[in-house]
Amino acid sequence: MAADTAHSDALASLRARLADRSAVIGVIGLGYVGLPLALRFSQIGHPIVGFDVDPAKIARLNADRGFPRYVGNRREEVRFAGPFEATTDFARAADCDALIICVPTPLGRFHDPDIGYILDAARAIRPYLRSGQVVALESTTYPGTTEDDMLPAMAREDLVVGQDFFVVYSPEREDPGNASFGIREIPKVVSGVTDACLAAAEALYGSAVDQLVPVSSTRVAEMTKLLENIHRAVNIGLVNEMKTLADRMGIDIFEVIRAAATKPFGFTAFYPGPGVGGHCIPVDPFYLTWKAREYGLHTRFIELAGEINRYMPDFIVEKLMDALNGHRKALNGAKVLVLGAAFKKNIDDIRESPSLMVMERIVARGGELSYADPFVPQLVLESGHAFAAVEADAETIASQDAVVIATDHDAFDYAMILDKAKLVIDTRGRYPASEPKVTRA
């Protein structure tokens, strides 16, 4: 009875603080996921403490209390609505009623999951946990991470999960650059280690988003996020494979997709490109592939999609070389401008960007590379080659032997590009396939 009372008191107290907006929200990891989430909780009235291991980022955020976001094709400064402090001092976790972990989950050298950042965060907050707190994990990971890995890393004998404090998993669904769906509008999957933890998750996120989707376990929620991203990866792999076949057959794959998309049921349009990028689609499927081996299964479908998508930069450079040959030029020594370095249009995120892989291959084959991207002023390729962005103006376009549209930012003047370019390699279907200057890739 005493345990039940403590449980109900801790949960009731947490709910009350969340309801009256006095609860301090701590966000661990101030990147593409953590910053927008902190901003959303600030907008509804909560004091915010942001945690990160990058002192330069902390200093920058504390200096101006704002950060740039890309909405549609606009770059705008957004600012916290109330009390906000960024810190590297995890002792401040003791002041927080909710701690939301939004750290990276990269792949290791052999495509094995690296949950080290999650475990580091769990260990960092462990000494400062107290009764009445909720700890939420939002990082994408394999089923079992929350309960089998993160919880043991933060466990303390004096605190009982589901009674004294509450551990939940709620996968992030951030879509950078999407002007139609922000944190509030995207339904939020929530789960908890216990029923009381699920109730804490609903109390935490219920005021920040319009719709909650409770599920029965943290494993279900973890698998849900992986399925979402694997669905995209596999369908992008399928349409990229269809693109290579359609190209061989002399068929415009974009025309095919537009026609198929008129069917009002049973078809969802996915579009080909130079591969897949960002943190999620190239990475997350391999979390499930790795976990499946524990159960004696080999996820052939997922791995095949990854293989196809990784091939696309090579396909594009092959098309570039063929098109240059048609102009009696070799790629070695040719001036090639790549339009777009980010992995998707109208944002500045270059993580796992296939555009960079295309650039690497052009440089490796002796091309004189330059790039233009209004959101990415400079970059360094894995090979060590460093570049500063150039303007995609008429003079620059006209000076190139070929222009590769790798990321189709809205800021580019596509009519001018077509008019001034000698040769265009179009990986995004911006131009009709019948244009004589255009090679689809």
Q: Per residue in 244-264, pLDDT tens?
A: 999 999 999 999 999 999 999
The whole-number pLDDT of residue 2 equals 42
Catalytically active residues, by annotation: 280
Give residue-wise pLDDT tens across range 336-367: 999 999 999 998 999 999 999 999 999 999 99
| Cα–Cα distance, 423 to 408 (Å, whole number) | 16
β-bridge pairing 84-87 and 48-51: parallel
| Cα–Cα distance, 241 to 253 (Å, whole number) | 10
Domains of the chain: 2-216 (3.40.50.720), 264-440 (3.40.50.720)
The whole-number pLDDT of residue 335 equals 98
Give me the mean pLDDT over the 302-309 stretch: 91
| Cα–Cα distance, 44 to 140 (Å, whole number) | 25
Q: Which of 58-72, 273-287, 300-314 has the lowest mean pLDDT?
A: 58-72
The whole-number pLDDT of residue 75 equals 65
Per-position b or e across 276-292, b if 16+ CB within 10 A of its CB: bbbbbbbbbbbbbbbbe
Q: Which of 3-7, 103-107, 234-238, 354-358 has the lowest mean pLDDT?
A: 3-7
Q: How far is CA 298 from the centre of its chain?
A: 26
The whole-number pLDDT of residue 285 equals 86
How many Å is the Cα radius of gyration of the chain? Answer: 24
Q: Which of 50-64, 185-199, 413-427 has the lowest mean pLDDT?
A: 50-64
Whether 388 and 341 have beta carbons less than 8 Å apart is answered as: no
| Cα–Cα distance, 395 to 433 (Å, whole number) | 25
Token digits of residue 43: 């907008």
The whole-number pLDDT of residue 72 equals 57
Whether 135 and 211 have beta carbons less than 8 Å apart is answered as: no
pLDDT of residue 221 exceeding 60: yes
The whole-number pLDDT of residue 74 equals 63
Alpha helices, DSSP H, located in 20-137: 34-43, 55-64, 116-125
pLDDT of residue 4 exceeding 90: no
The whole-number pLDDT of residue 87 equals 97
pLDDT of residue 48 exceeding 60: yes
3-state SS assignment for residue 125: helix
The whole-number pLDDT of residue 174 equals 85
The whole-number pLDDT of residue 71 equals 59
| Cα–Cα distance, 156 to 158 (Å, whole number) | 5
Token digits of residue 290: 């790795």
Those residues with Cβ within 8 angstroms of residue 415's Cβ, 6 or more apart along the chain or in another chain: none
- What pTM did the predictor assign? 0.90
Give 360-363's long-range contacts (Cβ < 8 A, gap of 24+): 360/313, 361/313, 361/314, 361/317, 362/317, 362/320, 362/331, 362/336, 362/338, 362/404
Residue keyed to tokens 């960079």: 356
pLDDT of residue 207 exceeding 90: yes
H or E element that contains 213? strand 212-214
| Cα–Cα distance, 42 to 271 (Å, whole number) | 36
Residue keyed to tokens 């959101």: 375
